[in-house]
Structure 1
Amino acid sequence: MNSEQKKALLSLKTSKGQIEATIKMVEEDRYCVDVSNQIMAAQSLLRKANLLILKQHMNHCVTEAFHQDSGSEKIDEIIGILSKIIGK
């Protein structure tokens, strides 16, 4: 596991804890704005984890694909992911 994957895993585990806390907040009928803030914090960590995974993919998988003359396929994959991220 490389450093990007380790950082992504930490973000995912932290977001898991935040999601569990958010569920508990809803079950306890906590203030809606507090629940919303907790949801946004979890979303932020998930976005961070996604970017770290994509960075790792670009640095390793895409680079290796270009060395094997199959880089255009990896570029198409990245474009597909980016289009989902930006909502197009």
Structure 2
Amino acid sequence: MREAALKYLKMANGQLQASINMLEDERYCIDVSHQILATISLLKKANERMLKEHMHHCVTDAFKEGTGEMKIDEVVSLFSKMID
């Protein structure tokens, strides 16, 4: 899953650079906005993969070790930031 997240981040990096180039070239605003939205979508996918990785491994392991509640609190804190 980390590999997938890294792939999405690298793609987002390319999309972001394309957005910058489009702005510098004074391209049509709507086209630039579409490019930015594509970047955001890739970042969301990367974040989703990382959270899934965390839940499947870190949180699961923490519950086995008796520290699961702390991991749950971390995830809840992160979700509250995502909602804002």
Band of TM-score, shorter chain: over 0.9
Aligned twin of 1:64: 61
Q: Normalized against structure 2, the TM-score is what?
A: 0.99
Give percent identity, aligned residues only.
Answer: 51
Aligned mates of 1:18, 1:67 — CA distance in 2: 40
Aligned mates of 2:21, 2:39 — CA distance in 1: 14
One-letter code aligned to 2:56: N
Q: Normalized against structure 1, the TM-score is what?
A: 0.94
Residue 29 of structure 1: SS of its match in structure 2?
A: coil
One-letter code aligned to 1:49: A
The partner residue of 2:47 within 25, 46, 50 is 50
Aligned mates of 1:21, 1:38 — CA distance in 2: 7
Aligned twin of 1:27: 24
Aligned mates of 1:37, 1:81 — CA distance in 2: 27
* Structure 2 alignment gaps of length 5 or more: none
Aligned mates of 2:6, 2:16 — CA distance in 1: 15
Report how many aligned residue pairs link the two structures.
Answer: 84
> Segments of 4+ in structure 1 off by > 4 A?
none
Shift of 1:77: 0.3
* Structure 1 alignment gaps of length 5 or more: none
- Considering only aligned residues, what root-mean-square deviation do their CA atoms show, in Å? 0.4
